Structure 1
Amino acid sequence: MPSTAADPPAALRAWLQCSATRVETRIREALSLPTAGAESLFDAMRYAALGPGKRLRPALVYACAQVFCTEAFNPARCDATAAALECIHAYSLIHDDLPAMDDDDLRRGRPTCHIAFGEATAILAGDALQTQAFELLLADTLAPALKLRLLQELAAATGSRGMVAGQAIDLNSVDKALSLDQLEPMHRLKTGVLICASARMGAMLGSASEKQLEAVTLYARAIGLAFQVQDDILDITADTAVLGKPRGADALRNKPTYVSLLGVDGARAKLQSLHQQALDALNPLPGDTRLLAQLADYIVQRSH
């Protein structure tokens, strides 16, 4: 398949495919034995966690871990962490789409989980995927001190001072005029914090030093916000068929976005600034950071 401005280069495509296969295999194993009488719950969990998706967060785990490995990189060391992060992401999307939240009917080109399985089952599937993430990490064979550190990172990123807080702020911001200073913290929590946790947890698995972890954090904070800015741009400029969800949904709900505050050109300028910040943050890192740079390129150039 020829590469376009919206496609990752061949090396990154191969990396994304490899990491996606690994994480999907791990999730499929975890959800392979449904509880008797709860088969529809597991069907909904698999539908959400194993359906179409970029698998960006797992890819960041593997890519960041590889940078800091002084010996041959063993991706199996990252599988449980990568799968846990994808389960959290899938849960967040299920709940984000619910009628009480964004009330979306389409996600990744398919009916959203509550449309396909009913609202009650979708809520339970989201709840179960959240706890499944922690089950995956707890069952891993990592050293106890590292496992605890990863658990702390994931819990902090996804709770009431992380992703869930961002969602709450987002819901409270509908039909309100926000400034850029108010919009950015919301998106750093709602979207950016889980992307940042993915990179940081990968770096921890690679035994990064505290100074190296600081550089990874700067990189991840930049790409996390860039991901949201590009989402805002695509919501206005891309077709529904390409997006996999309704075009213009944010504008219809009168939600504040980077495009509504800066215009499309201003949002694109913001995106390029964040892209450069991410690339600059990689400079002090000692390992091969080409994949991380390509991931940053992909985030700002993607078409969906």
Structure 2
Amino acid sequence: MALVPVNDLLFKADKEGYAVGAFNANNMEIVQAIVEAAEQENSPVIMQASQGAIKYAGLEYITGMVTIAAKAANIPVALHLDHGTDFEQVIKCIRSGFSSVMYDGSKLPLEENIAMTNKVLEIARPINVSVEAELGKIGGTEDDVHVADKDATFTDPNEAKYFVEKTGIESLAIAIGTAHGQYKGEPKLDFERLEKIKNLIKIPIVLHGSSGVPDEAIQKSIKLGICKVNIDTNIREVFVNEMKKVVSEKTSEIDPRKILGPAKEATVELIREKMRVFGSSNKA
């Protein structure tokens, strides 16, 4: 089937009390793994590409791979730009065929973030492309986006209410204690803050930096209003570790398919497990 807007998936998830997984698609094998997992779990799925992935693989390749995978799939698939900090990059993704984009103006002053988000919405809404925004600074590093621990700030509930009122944004990424990349310890999520924000804004809320967050914490956050959960680092870990295992056990192997194939299969199992945690299995 054709790519679907993320809004179509999140509004249903919000109503029914589960979350849709958003998995970063960095190469062909990972794209295949994401779709295979979603098919096996009968789950809706969001494939997303960061600015770093686009720089690595090329915008046309990313769009082409995901579009082909979606057309062959029997479950709804969305293609989303993850952390689009550059307005021109956001527009290029919309023109390329992305069904959803994130404009990340979290490092900007509040009013400037609102103005730029509205600029993106003005272009995206008439052509049914979903838009995600971010308020609060999520620590850590994801490709080209880096926020030092000292600069990370939690989302203010009243600012979130004001932001949504001034933009009418359809989904909002918030900062409640998660971080991008690998955690050095167990993250502590501010569930009270999440609950306050959800009571004030009444729209789907997005949790970034979810790799390494305990399943119980993820499930509690979903009960409190999280409808989209982003996973990237866990995929990288499983994919690369399986490649290393194959190479170490079969030192003379020179066929990339026999190295990348097992990595893809390990990734399928990881993503299936995440979908079950998110409650999206059999929700397609």
* Structure with a larger share of its residues in helix: 1
